[in-house]
Structures are given as C-alpha cells and as structure tokens.
Chains A and B, each alone.
Chain A
Amino acid sequence: MRSLRIFRVWSLCLGLTLIAAPSIAQNPPHLIVRDNLVYLTLTGAPTIGNLVGQPDGVQSQATGFFVGNEGFILTAEHFFDPATAVKAVNLVIQAELSGPGGAKWPVSFVSALPDVDLVLLRANIPFGTAPPAGLELGQTAPLTVADDRDFLTSGFNGEDYVPDDGKLIERGNRKVPFAWTLKLAVGGGQSGSPVYIEDEAGGVKVVGVVKATTGANNDRTLMVPIEYSMPLIGHFRIAVLEAKVARIDALERQVARLTKLVGEISDQQPPIGDRINFIEEDVDQIGRFFTWKAETAPDGSIRIRYSKLVGGEDQIDRIQVFLGAKALTLDEQGEDVVPAFAKMLKLNQNGNLFDRVQLDAKGLKGDFTIPGVHAALSSELNTTFNAKGGDKPFANLELVVVPFIRDEKLEAIPMTLAANYDFNLQN
C-alpha cells in the first residue's frame, strides 16, 4: 500500500513537470475544443418560493467541457446556485454535445469544490457510444503576463456558440484572489467554459475555467487556474502516467528522490504541497468511487456497467437487484393510469443476485447481465388486469443495485431506465 501511495505522488510529480503527449488533432483550436464542449441545462422543482412543486420551476444554464475519456465534465459550481437558492428537488441535468441540438445525455453530479467554484459532473452516455476524448490539461505555472500570448475560450451564451480570445492581464484578482484576470468579455451562460492556449504541436491545452466577468464594462473575465481543479480531476493525469510506466521497482527509487524534492519545494511553495495532499486523499477515495449505468438490451436482458477511475483490487464482484415495474393500466374511462408504486420482479432463483460477467483489462469497467427481464415483464403484463399494453406498456423501470466487494455490501444505487423491449414479440 505504501508503495502505491508513493507511486501516486511520483506520478503527480511527473504530471506537474513533464510535457504531455502531443495532440494528434490538427484542427484550429476552437474546433478541437468544440467537440468536447457541452451545453448544460438544469431544471428542478423548488421547495420554497412562489413556484413550489413545479417540475421546472427553477432553471440554470452553463458551459462545460469533457476531461478524460470517461464522460466526466468540468464546469463552474455556481451553475447550481439557482437550484440551491430555492432548495430545489428532482433536479434534471442534461448535457448537449457541441451545443444545443447535439447529442443529449443525462448528467450526474460527482463532486464539487465550492470554494474555487468548480464542479465535476458525469454524462450518462449509452452503451456503444464513445465519450469524447476529453481536452488535454496544461499548466499555468509557465504563463506570464509578459508573454502576451492568446488566451482562447468558447462556450454558449444562451444557445449561441461564442468563440473568443484575449490576453492575460493579471495572475490574480483583487476581489477573487485565486482567480486570474483576462482581458476578455463572455456572456452569462459561458461560465464553466474552458480557457485554453495553443501548444507547439498545434493542439490545445486547457489552463483554466471561466468563472465570471468583471470590470466596468464586463470586459474582464475571471479564470480559475486549472490546477485548482486537481482535487477533482488530478487522477486523469495519474491514470495517463500509470499507463506509460512499466517498471514499478525502478519507479520507487525515483519516488524517494522526487518525494523528497517535492517536500523541499513544498516548504517554499505551499500551494503545491496542498494540491498533492488533496490529490492523495482524493485518489484513495476514487479507488472506491464507482459510477453506474444500465440499459435494456435486445436479447431481453438488462446490462449494468460500473466504471471507476483507477484500477485495483476493489472491484464489484456481484450485485443484488431490485427491479420494480409499473404496468400501465386503463381506467373505466379508458385513460392511462400510472400506478403509484412499483412491483418487484423475480428474476432468478438466487434472490436476484448476479455475478460479474466481465472486467476490462485495466480494471476500470465491470459488466453484469440480468437475463430474462423482457420475459418477466411480459409475465407481469399478462397477469395485470386492465393492462394498457401496446408498445410502451410500462412506466420507467425502477432499478436498485446493491453492490458487493467480496463480502462487503456497499450502499444501494437507485437508477431508472426505460423498458425498451418489443412487447409485441412472444417470449
């Protein structure tokens, strides 16, 4: 365990000092970024105020961008402020790739750093659809005002895509000490947009996240340096470096030296030490951070996949599932009735317990298959009186997954999914 911890520190050191692999993209910088931009919308039902209970009584919009290749999205944390202000419930967050009208995916909250106005989200991307590759992360340390280089950004002001560029005018800000000040004007919905620079190979490196505008004419933009997002996304760098390292024993010798070096630097530059500590804690948690998605499959099963950010011993070995079905019925007037409560389906003879069927080579994805769901739903339909039937005879399925790591039961994961089966087929 100690060697793993040191390895992570070493990896971080490399992440802070090495130059990442050159981008293979040859497109203009804004086009490279646009493929990784998302138009984020949030709706929710307020529990206080004048619109209590209205499903879309509160709304918010922002820009976000993909980091890593697992569907993670970084954006500004104040995207959630309107919902927080009215204590909204039943939040629905959606991401549209490359802007309004693009592929639309539901989004889940992962983690946040409210003090520096950053939040990490994750798009629930369907099986078979590859997430965007994610933008490469740069470093702000070498950047100075004197360089006079272009700082680029792009995002969505309302539904309009707006690319722009400007200059760095201060590595800080009087009102928001952790933010840098750019001479650049952005619209309200552009909060969360990436700020990036062009690298020598024609690619782009993200060096910050748009926080807000300031100045007399809103002609100044505050940027949160990308390093402040390390507690949220530092593991992506570590993961990249892990893939490049082959010999652990050789690394450990380097680790001793680099750890000492980092410690010495930390004494002089506390922010680096702080970041390392953050990442260390975060990586330990991330080893047990699983994200889940489920989908109906044409063979009548449900496929459930978990993903994690770092491989290792902690894998989900088996799951026990609650699959609740609500068969739609017709009332005496012939109108649809959606039952208030779901009925649990019996899916096997083993208490709805299923072993993992697949684990990818890196230990980052595990798959489960729940067979016979279509048949169980059809049976439920046949024994439901006044069932509506038709192509969509069920309301969304209520799925609860109880994961087990070896003998240890983890917290139940609730999900919903549409019963996308052909109910005209016989089972």
Chain B
Amino acid sequence: MISICRTDDLRRLGVLCVAALWPLAGLAESGPVETTFQPAGLLAQTAAQIMPAGPIGLSLDGDHMFVILGETPEDGRILRLSQATLIVEAEAPLGLIPDDVLVSPDDGTVFIIGRDAQQTRILVLGPDLSPLGQVMSETGLAHPTLSWAGAGLIAIGDYGTEKAMGDFRVVDVNTPQAPVFLPSPRVALAARGVSKAWFDTALGIVFLNLSAEPSLLAVDAGADRRVAGSGAQPKSATPLEPFTVDALLSNQRCDGGTDPSFLISDRNRDRLMLVEYVEYFRALNLLTEVEPRLRLRPGAAATVQTGSGLRPSGLLASSCDRGVIWLGSLYSDEVIQYALNPAAASLEKVGSITLPALPGALALSADGLRGVAMMADGTVIGFAAAGSAAESLIGDPAVRELQRLLTEEGYPVGVIDGYLGARTLRATTQFQATQGIILNPEADIDGALRAIKGVKN
C-alpha cells in the first residue's frame, strides 16, 4: 500500500491515490458487475413552429431557447422562444450579422458575436433581450464562435481567412455593461484557424478545434505550449472539414467526472468519438468511437466553404451527463440519439429521429429532457422525453445485454445497438479465444449471456 498523491491530486483523481492509482473511470478494475444500465428513451416530438429563416445559432437555457437569424445587419435579430410551446416570447434587432449566441449558465445573460460593415462586436443582452452592453474587437474576426469559460469569461475562436490568420481571445463579461477583451492568454497555435475554442480556467488549459484540419489541441495557457492533441497535416490535397465538438469543461460536468470531456464528430471518417482530457497525465484519451452511418439525403453532399477552409457539417448536442446525445448532419434528415454507458465507457444507440427537412442546428437541455431541432428552412421542432426507455430502444434487448457485457470485459463491439453484427461477432470470437469457452449467440443468446456472466463472476 502506498500513498503518493497530494490533496489536489486526490481531488482530481478521486480514490485512486491510495492503492489503485488509476486515473480513468473507464479503465477501473472490473469486479462482478450486473449490467443494469438503461439508457434514456428516444425523445419524442412535442411541438413545431415556423421561423422566418433558418438559424445561424441556437442555445437553450432553462425554459427558453434563443435563436439568432439574419444574413445582413438589417435582418440580424434574436428571438426568445418557450422551449415547451416554441412560441416566440421576445424579439430584438441586433444591427449586425450574428455569428454565434451563448447564454450564461450562471444568470441567463445572452451574448451574441457578429459583425457589421467592418467591425466585429459582442452584444450583451439580458434574459429579456434588453441591451446591457457591448464591446468591439480591435480586429475583424472571421466566423467567430463563443464558449463559456466560467469565472465571467468567454472564449472566442476565430476561423481566420485567406488574408488573416485565426485567433483565440478571451473576453471578461463580469461587468455586462462594459465587457472587455483581455490581453491574455494568447495562443500562437490559434493562428492556424479556430473553428471553436474553450478555456478551462480551472486547469489553465485552452482547447482548440482547428478549422484548417480535423484536430483538437490542448494548450497550456500560461506557457502557450501544446500539451496534447493531434495536429497532423492532411495527407491528401482534398481539404478536410474540421471536427464538430461538444465540450464539457472541468467545472461543467454533472456526472461526477472532473476531467474535460469532448464528443467529437468527424464527418470525414464518419466517426463519433468520446475523448477525455486527463489532466493527471496532460493527455487526451480516446474512450470510445462509433461509426454513425447517418442517412444522407441524395444530392446533398456539398460542402460549406469559407475563406480559410471548410465549415463542419456535423451537428452535435448533449446533456451534461452524456445520457442523451444527438448526432446529425447538415446533409442528413436523420438524427441519431446515443447514450453514454458510463460502466463500459461506451456509446449505446437508442434510436433515430427522422426530420421533415435538413437541419441547421440541434440543441439539448442540460438535463436531457428536452431537445430542439431547427431546420434550414426555418421550421423548429421541439422534443421531450416520453414513455419508457425500453419501449423505444432499437434492436434485441438480449443482444444489447451481450454487447454491454463484452464491452465491459474489454472486447469493444463498436456501438451498442442490439444488433448482432460483424463487430459483435468478432468481439465474441476474441472473448472465446481468451476465455477458452464456446459462445454461440446466433443460436442461443441466453446461453451466451449466462456463459459470459459466469466468467465475470
């Protein structure tokens, strides 16, 4: 028995410091485990509404949702809708072309970044959309995105253009009437163009989703030094679109985890990945990945070009415990709902939602009980939890159980979906070879389940 961790390490690593010394829940020692995991059911449609245009951005907060619209400064506006009824409760002109919207999780203050003829501005609005303050950027930002950093700070990612490099900036909004761009931290790697950036103030780490190449980097904000992440150059001449990333920083996770967690949709390879940044090792660890195989609409496989590269076509939304995850694409009318099975650090496919048109934005509430899909044509559809989970799950429950057991034992089957596919059979074969037992799940699924549980116990 040894003890080698200090108090701050113990806080970050939970109980590992005394004996187990294992920093990742997904790799914890597995004892006899009954797989009792039941994912939340498929969200069901509750309401629909027609907006005057497709969304630029969408954000949920409490009982409300905020939508930004407009292709010109004159058209630019923000709408506040009831999440339950989708009725417009308030509307305000912006006087700029909006690029992104963010709602403070602390007090519901609304932040919008956008541009008029020359200037990039951040507007600060109250929850009732009343103007509170604004700040202008001294430089123009291309397709800027916002993320909440905590401690009254907002992180901004700048895509960059052919003529100007990308950037990462931090804005102090502790005084909503007078927000201010901070001189630091600055990140040199952001010059490569940033699709979205996050600043984990608790860890002092900036995460960059680069726009010119599909990569996620972790940068020590104090030293301006990359500490983890891939930064490979594309091998082919064909430009690749950046990742779509849903991030939960260390102070935002509600599932007991403390390390930042990233859901990443790579539409170039058709992968959905769950990656954790492990502060203990200052490394990014791939927990699981699946191939979604979204149903693409014929003829819709175009790309969205910007001055400096492609914009991501993937759409992602997640509850804060990853219990409800939505994956979509600008080119598919299908939205796949997943759930994270924390015991196996794996993703379970709950089912698919078919939308009436191609989506422009997806959003989920933090508790995962409500969701919104906004179509490119302006149609907004609300969703809510309904019925029992078991009724809505696709596939065979016994096969799903087999897949969970194999995954927990270290034989990944890809996505857990209740179907006895090639990957599940391959994992079964590997399990048989290692354990020296014969399973025949195609003929006797119950017998196979009993055999695996026998090995586990």
Contact = CB atoms under 8 A, between A and B. Distances in A.
A400 B281 contact: yes
Interface stretch (B92-100, B150-158, B229-237): B229-237
Interface in A341-370: 341-344, 346, 349-353
B4 A52 contact: no
A318 B5 CA distance: 12
A93 B5 CA distance: 35
B233 A53 contact: yes
Nearest to A342: B286
A409 B284 contact: no
A385 B426 contact: yes
A412 B281 contact: yes
Interface stretch (B40-48, B366-374, B406-414, B448-456): B406-414
B189 interface: yes
Interface string A302-337: 000000000000000010101010000001000001
Nearest to B411: A383
A409 to B, nearest CB: 6
B283 interface: yes
B426 A343 contact: no
A402 B266 CA distance: 31
A341 B426 contact: no
A270 interface: no
A44 B9 CA distance: 35
A404 interface: yes
A90 interface: yes
A402 B191 contact: no
B273 A337 contact: no
B376 interface: no
Contacts of A320: 21, 280-281
Interface in B155-210: 165, 188-189, 191-192
Interface string B16-55: 1000111110010100000000000000000000000000
A409 B282 contact: no
A404 B2 CA distance: 12
A398 B233 contact: no
Given A47-B189, A47-B191, A52 B165 contact: yes
B191 A48 contact: yes
Given A47-B192, A320-B21, A340-B273, A385 B286 contact: no
B165 A342 contact: no
A249 interface: no
A290 B298 CA distance: 59
Given A87-B191, A343-B287, A398-B283, 8 more contacts: A52-B192, A87-B188, A322-B281, A352-B21, A385-B422, A400-B282, A409-B6, A412-B281
7 contacts: A53-B212, A324-B286, A340-B243, A344-B27, A352-B22, A383-B410, A409-B5
